[in-house]
Amino acid sequence: GAVVGLVTALCVLPFAPLGVANVLAIVWFALSASFIMGMTGVLAGLWSEKFDHLAAVQNFIVMPMTFLSGTFYLVENLPEPFRTISRYNPFFYLIDGFRYGFIGHAESNLTVGVIGSAVLMVIMGTICWLVFRSGWRLKS
C-alpha cells in the first residue's frame, strides 16, 4: 500500500504539486491506517469461508466507513445527527489526520486521532495475535 501511494504521488507531482504541512502526521496516519486495514484484512481472511464473505467485509464494513468518514466532503458541513455520528468513525480520524499532514487544517482534534489510532492498532494487533496463537481456522 505504501509503495502504491508513493508511486501514485510521484506520478501526480508533475501535474499537481503537493504541499506538505506536517511530515510526522503524514507518516503516522499513513502507517496506522495501513496497519489497521492490514489487520482487518487478516481477520476477514481468517473468518471468510468463501470469497463472498471476504467481499462482504469490504462492501458492508470498509466501504461505508470510508465513504462516511469525510473523504470526499467536510464533515462539519453535515447536518446533525450525521456530524456527530461521523465523529465515532475511526476512519474519519485517520483520513482527517492524513489530510492535515498535507494541507495543515484538521476538522478534528489531532490528539484524539493519534490516541484513537494507537488504541485501535493495539486492539487489532492483539486480536490478530490471539487468533493466530489459538490456531483458529489455521489448523486442519
Is residue 1 in some structural domain? no
Structural domain span for residue 33: 21-134
Residue 10 lies in a domain: no
pTM: 0.86
Of 88, 94, 124, the residue nearest 110 (C-alpha) = 94
Assess if residue 56 is contained within a domain.
yes
Kindly report which listed range (53-57, 113-117, 124-128) carries the lowest average pLDDT score: 53-57
Question: Is the Cα torsion angle 96, 58, 120, 8 positive or negative in sign?
Answer: negative
Give the C-alpha separation, 45 to 54, whole Å. 6
What is the tens place of the pLDDT at every residue in 60-111?
Answer: 999 999 988 888 888 989 899 988 999 999 999 999 999 999 999 999 999 9
CA distance 119 to 61: 19
Q: Within a domain: residue 64?
A: yes
Q: Is the pLDDT of residue 140 over 70?
A: no
Average pLDDT over residues 48-53: 90
- Is residue 130 in a domain? yes
Place of cell 502507517: 31
Does the residue 27 lie in any domain? yes
User: Residue 24 above 70 pLDDT?
Assistant: yes
Give the chain's domain count.
1
Question: Is 42 a domain residue?
Answer: yes
